Structure 1
Amino acid sequence: MSRRLPEERPTEPPTGYKIAHPVLSQDGTRAGFIGVSLGAALPYGVLDEAACVYGRRHRAPHRRCDCGFHCVHARQDAEALLCTAEHRRAALLEVTVLGAYIRFERGFRYARQRVRTMFSGPCACGAPGAVLADAGWGRPGWCALESVCARCAGARRSLARATFARLAGEGLTVRSVPVAMAAAYDVPELVAEAALLQARLDWFQTQLARIQRRPRG
């Protein structure tokens, strides 16, 4: 006989973190998100209910299925996912877990959610992000967006963060969080990296000088 997991009855809805791509509807009247895993084909709103991605009729989250929204407990775990190449242009979301949920060691799988805050990162060029612009891909009826500076946005379709929040509705807050890869190193590590690069440059200059001094003919 299988044992039932203990039921939780929290006084307040749990908070979790996840990453997703902001999206804008084709007609420009709605904003939402596209996930990065199982539900990547189904855009969702700020306040939304999960459905089984396999088309089954059970309610999410089902114990014998992978359906439902997913998030992790710790913000740093979600931020770590942004380091991978395929997720570099995604945004960090802070969500409220609503309805039935299944708790795991590192996160939740759950029925409903409210996205409270979206944190958008810097532009790919390293400058602070100023707007959300067309990322060059999407889903039928939805255009994916990415955080870019004004220069890199160019003539692409773009909108201000405040406009995205208004179109998304439900009290969504959008914040800019510049994330520089160099911040992961402290000053001594940066000095060591610079010294190593200088040593390599000196070596190449020495080799080049030897080649130029060789007699020709």
Structure 2
Amino acid sequence: MRLRLPAERPTEPPTGYKIAHPVLSQDGGRAGFTGVSLGGALPYGVLDDASCVYGLRHRPPARRCDCGFHCVHDRAVAEALLCTAEHRAAALLEVSVLGAYIRFERGFRYARQRVRTVTAGPCGCGAAAVALADAGWGRPGWRVLAPRCGGCARGRTAVSLAGFARLAGQGLRVLAGAASPGLAELSSADGLGVPELVAEAALLQARLDWFQSQLARLGERGTGGEHG
């Protein structure tokens, strides 16, 4: 006798969390996401249906396959994935699980999803992101984007967080996560912000250069005196 789990009929779509890379179409007219694991070769939109990555004709999520969208129940579990080196530039997605799904201990595998909220992490320099810019790699027809501050986004193909939300459509919200903790602590030190601290560092460097030039001149005079 084969035991079967009871069918679930929730009154509201379950909520899940996952990480993915934001992508921008080659012509700049569409925005979406690409996964970080099995389905990474198939970019998807804010509201989209899953397809079998193996090209089989069954409808995801098939029990004898691992196709379909994947997410976890706990936001903290998804955030922890962003600590790995290969996922540092990915974004955190909050999704609604739609259609048929299979529940697992840590999450869902399911047929259809709506991405509700995207949280972009800090820029590679540690500052809070204001845009999503070309990460230097992609999929055929799609540029992968990474969170960037205003300075680091300069000179790259980029779109603002609000602009990405408009291109993606479906009421998507795109939020900027906090700056890196180390930078946040530095910014609050002695009431100075990052621009002020950068200016202070530049002034200190200039004074150091002056002292080094003076020492060099004194050294040259000392050498000359010995030979005279």
TM-score by length of 2: 0.78
Gap regions ≥5 residues in structure 2: 184-228
Check whether the contact 2:89–2:146 (CA below 8 A) recurs between aligned residues. Answer: yes
Q: Per the alignment, do residues 37 and 179 of structure 1 end up closer, same or farther by CA in structure 2, a change over 3 Å counting?
A: farther
Partner of 2:59, secondary structure, is coil
Instruction: Return the structure number with greater helix share.
Output: 2
Deviations 1:90-122 (A, max 9, x none): 000000000000000000000000000000011
Q: Which residue of 1 aligns with 2:64?
A: 64
Of structures 1 and 2, the larger Rg is shown by 2
Amino acid corresponding to residue 110 of structure 2 in structure 1: Y
Deviations 1:16-61 (A, max 9, x none): 0000000000000000000001100000000000000000000000
> How many residues end up aligned between the 2 structures?
183
Q: Which residue of 2 aligns with 1:18?
A: 18
TM-score by length of 1: 0.82
Q: Which residue of 2 aligns with 1:189?
A: none
Deviations 1:64-102 (A, max 9, x none): 000000000000000000000000000000000000000
Offset at 1:182?
4.7
Offset at 1:180?
2.4
Q: Which residue of 2 aligns with 1:128?
A: 128
Percent identity between matched residues is 73
Gap regions ≥5 residues in structure 1: 184-217
Query: Superposed, which structure 2 residues align to 1:63-212 within 5 Å?
Result: 63-178=63-178, 180=180, 182=182
Amino acid corresponding to residue 9 of structure 1 in structure 2: R
Offset at 1:6?
1.5
Amino acid corresponding to residue 175 of structure 1 in structure 2: L
Cα RMSD (Å) = 1.1
Partner of 1:152, secondary structure, is helix
Offset at 1:5?
2.0
